Amino acid sequence: MSAAGYEYEDIDGGSSYDPSFVPDPVKSFVVHLYRYIREKNVYEIHQMYETSFHTLSDRMFKDTPWPSVEAVAQYVDNDHVFCLLYREMWYRHLYARLSPTLKQRIDSWDNYCSLFQARSVVLHGVVNMQLPNQWLWDMVDEFVYQFQSFCQYRAKMKSKTEQEIALLRQHDQAWNVYGVLNFLQALMEKSSIIQILQQEKEGLEQFTATDGYDYSGGSNVLKVLGYFSMVGLLRVHCLLGDYQTGLKCLLPIDISQQGVYTSVIGSHITTIYHYGFANLMLRRYVVAIREFNKILVYIYKTKQYHQKSPQYEQILKKNEQMYALLTICLSLCPQVKLVDENINSQLREKHGEKMLRMQRYDDESFAVYDELFSYACPKFITPSAPSYDEPLVNYNQDAYRLQLKLFLYEVKQQQQLSVVRSFLKVYSTISLEKLASYMEVDESTLRTILMTYKHKTHSVGADGKTISNADIDFYIDDDLIHVVEYKTPKLYGDYFLRQIVKLEAVIGDMDRVKLD
């Protein structure tokens, strides 16, 4: 019988939580999951992890934790590795359904240390199992999320009790930023994933073709954890505001191609969200627009297949955030031709009015940029611990305010150049003297403005080459400005395919009409 087919009985809703009580459905769950892990039956593990675990959580543990690992250990031969995996799921459920205490946050860190650290299971143990990519992605994703959550929690110092402050002092290495980065870096290096991906380009490996699984009977765990750790590093560096380093960590993965990161919807969305956001903050607007457009098209076409997924709400939230980020990109860098027709339609429906207001170049426009950025940006963190001897203040919003300030400063600079762009769109050639009189500045000031325009519409790509974000460019020859407008070739094939699909739908509707 498949794992997803088990029927689970509800426990008595009125009984208080007893961590040592293991209901029969939970016994059945851990026994079967343990057996499938030993058998390396990835399909059944995935069914139990993705379906049965969430079914049990919804029916029996909506507002209580799962039974303790000590209580279930006897049903799985006290297997050390399984107990670590179960405890990792236990804490993940606790974070999702309840509010973890400071002690539980620290204990969860210790559990990750046992999984990842020296003399541990993954990095220095012999890993003899295959786990679904979904589970391995969730491990890395949750690891980074709990780090982010801890930093936000610790930064709210005003509400801390003396006992909590004493515990924070005592466990000052828990969720330390260097520890988090070192674990992700160690997983990446120990897995040799960079070399594996390089060999794949040379035709010597089949990592992507097999979605990272080892069909020869080996283990996929370390390799896939190392792969997802690159995405984890991108996310951590984005939370810290270090976008250049974040993108550097992701370089081994070719974003323009399908990869193992696209095999899990959560990984796919997280990767492109942070990749696009980092490029937005580095003024690589064209790169950000292309990637946001691609992922939004993907979600638009496939989201109905994920409605029953536990990640569905998160998918919808990230979808809305990326529409907001795409709105920002297109307002700062008008490149609508790079956006799919369906996405453009959705964009106008969601943010059409805001986009019009953003083109006004006044305080109201500034407020819209502020609103969209605040809604769509990552939850930035301050990773350093506070000084416990000074008056306790909340500093959880400091990192966000700094990034917002930097972003709005950039917007203000871009808005000052919008007047130049509006004139360049009208003329194919215009003298410096004439443009200076239109803009009511002297020629020297105009040259400075034009140089600033050049600077702001170009950025340095990941490969170190200069890339243009401008749909309009120019050069100056003998005090005459020559305007060059980039024209994107029209994709007639896509247009005709869309019209054919619409025509077939109309014909189908006509065929269903019964004539009297």
Please name the amino acid found at residue 393: V
Block means of pLDDT (10 residues each) for the chain, length 516 residues? Answer: 38 62 94 94 93 93 93 93 93 94 95 74 68 95 96 91 92 93 93 92 87 84 94 97 95 91 94 96 92 94 81 91 95 85 91 87 85 96 87 89 94 78 82 84 84 79 73 81 68 71 82 68
Contacts of 42 by beta carbon, 8 Å cutoff, 6+ apart: 130, 131, 132, 213
3-state secondary structure of 480: strand
**DSSP H helices in 162-308:** 162-170, 177-190, 193-201, 221-240, 243-249, 265-281, 285-302
Measured distance CA(219)–CA(73) in Å, rounded: 24
* CA pseudo-torsion sign 440, 444, 449, 453: positive
Q: Does residue 241 sit in the same domain as residue 372?
A: yes
HSE, CB side, 13 Å, CA atoms: give it for residue 68.
Answer: 9
**C-beta atoms surrounding 41 within 10 Å:** 16
Q: Does residue 201 sit in the same domain as residue 111?
A: yes
Measured distance CA(344)–CA(350) in Å, rounded: 10
Q: Does residue 302 sit in the same domain as residue 268?
A: yes
Please indicate, yes or no, if residue 326 is contained in any of the structural domains: yes
**C-beta atoms surrounding 2 within 10 Å:** 11
Q: Does residue 392 sit in the same domain as residue 456?
A: no
Phi, psi angles (nearest 5°) of residue 477: -135, 115
Q: Does residue 360 sit in the same domain as residue 397?
A: yes
Please indicate, yes or no, if residue 176 is contained in any of the structural domains: yes
* Domain of 442, in residue numbers: 427-485
Please indicate, yes or no, if residue 458 is contained in any of the structural domains: yes
Radius of gyration of the chain (CA): 27
Tokens 């505001």 belong to which residue? 241
Into how many domains does the chain fold?
A: 2
**DSSP H helices in 333-442:** 341-358, 363-376, 398-416, 418-426, 432-439
Which residue, 468, 65, 40, 472, is CA-closest to 283?
468
| pLDDT reported for residue 514 | 64
Contact 325, 277 (CB under 8 A): yes
Contacts of 27 by beta carbon, 8 Å cutoff, 6+ apart: 72, 75
| pLDDT reported for residue 5 | 39
Q: Does residue 473 sit in the same domain as residue 370?
A: no
Measured distance CA(428)–CA(436) in Å, rounded: 16
Q: Does residue 477 sit in the same domain as residue 401?
A: no
Contacts 24+ apart (CB under 8 A), 333-337: 333/285, 333/286, 333/289, 333/457, 333/469, 333/470, 333/471, 334/471, 335/285, 335/286, 335/289, 335/469, 335/471, 337/471, 337/488
Q: Does residue 319 sit in the same domain as residue 249?
A: yes
Please indicate, yes or no, if residue 234 is contained in any of the structural domains: yes
Measured distance CA(146)–CA(152) in Å, rounded: 10
Contacts of 126 by beta carbon, 8 Å cutoff, 6+ apart: none
Q: Does residue 330 sit in the same domain as residue 475?
A: no
Please name the amino acid found at residue 210: T
Please indicate, yes or no, if residue 378 is contained in any of the structural domains: yes
Q: Does residue 279 sit in the same domain as residue 380?
A: yes
Please indicate, yes or no, if residue 145 is contained in any of the structural domains: yes
| pLDDT reported for residue 334 | 84
Which residue, 442, 418, 440, 426, is CA-closest to 481?
426
Contact 293, 338 (CB under 8 A): yes
Tell me the C-alpha to C-alpha distance, in Å, between residue 258 and each of 120, 262, 455: 32, 6, 33
Tell me the C-alpha to C-alpha distance, in Å, between residue 331 and each of 320, 327, 358: 17, 6, 7
Q: Does residue 194 sit in the same domain as residue 307?
A: yes
Q: Does residue 367 sit in the same domain as residue 233?
A: yes
Contacts of 471 by beta carbon, 8 Å cutoff, 6+ apart: 333, 334, 335, 337, 485, 486
Which residue, 469, 430, 475, 431, is CA-closest to 451?
475
What six digits make up the tokens of 447? 């040259």
Please indicate, yes or no, if residue 134 is contained in any of the structural domains: yes
Please indicate, yes or no, if residue 85 is contained in any of the structural domains: no
Contacts 24+ apart (CB under 8 A), 343-351: 343/293, 343/296, 343/297, 343/300, 346/296, 346/300, 347/323, 350/320, 350/323, 351/323, 351/324, 351/327
